Structure 1
Amino acid sequence: MIDYIMEMFDLAVDGDKQGFMFFICLYALVVCGYSVLFQLRVARWPETKGALLQNGVSKIGGTELVTSNQEYIASALYEYVVDGKHYQGKRVSPWVMVASHNAKFLLEKQRRGIHQYADGGVRVFFNPNNPKKSFLIKPGKLGIAFTLSLAVGPMLLYGYSYTI
């Protein structure tokens, strides 16, 4: 295996497409693979009831002259209690989405995934080992499967392209 990686490194240094593709696929495997493991951990976090203080879509970066170039993220501020201790959270979801002005509707759709109780409270998922880390939306099976396909898919395509 080490010999193969060294061979791909030599190909990449020489500017060969196969060498570059190998390392791009390896990068996708590592980054998306880590994301899958993180999402699986978060999916098992316990929940508590919290109070939503702010919920919206916020501009990030400077104000753009061309509206369609402006970028946005979902933003929230919420409070919750774990074992009698009060915490505040800002993270909406483990899926951090940045959207342009034209794609802001995706952030609105993401925000609809926040479960609100009839009394206005929200469901908060927290890390049992570090309760100050929390999210309002837990990763779902479809999202985890999609990330897994992004991790494994490129390497499978690479293997198909360069072994046949």
Structure 2
Amino acid sequence: MFTQPTYNGNTIDQYALLAKQLDALLEDETDNIANLSNASALLNQFLHTINWCGFYLYKNEELLLGPFQGLPACVHIAMGRGVCGTAAANQETLVVANVHQFPGHIACDAASQSEIVVPIIIEGNLFGVLDIDSPINNRFSTDDREGIEQFVHVLTKHLSL
């Protein structure tokens, strides 16, 4: 019988260090794509038990696939559709313990079981979302949510509309 691995999560202190690493990594770089690419690579290295980590950018009133780490993904996501589109439309973080129970979930990777999506807001405008998937149900804790939101806050200092 298969038992799902358990994951103890990263601590707020570890996330604070990650945010500092991100800030230093992106210092003096002004290219959005370069900064998003390095941010997704850093998160992918830091987070355990995830299978996709990346960005969807708000363009032409939809979300368009941006830099990511993982398997090929959906390219276009309508606002309000799936976890990413809903988080973007409501401009609020969504943590979904079981994506198969989320109405309208878009299954880009059948292995994904849980997801966190954090909107990226710059000067009051939607820039896009950070999307992280895991093959484990209920993977993302309150500490993960706070830490990933802190990561996005630091990232926004290195992005422009």
TM over 0.5: no
Q: Which has the higher helix share?
A: 1
TM-score scaled by length of structure 1: 0.28
Q: Which has the larger radius of gyration?
A: 1
TM-score scaled by length of structure 2: 0.28
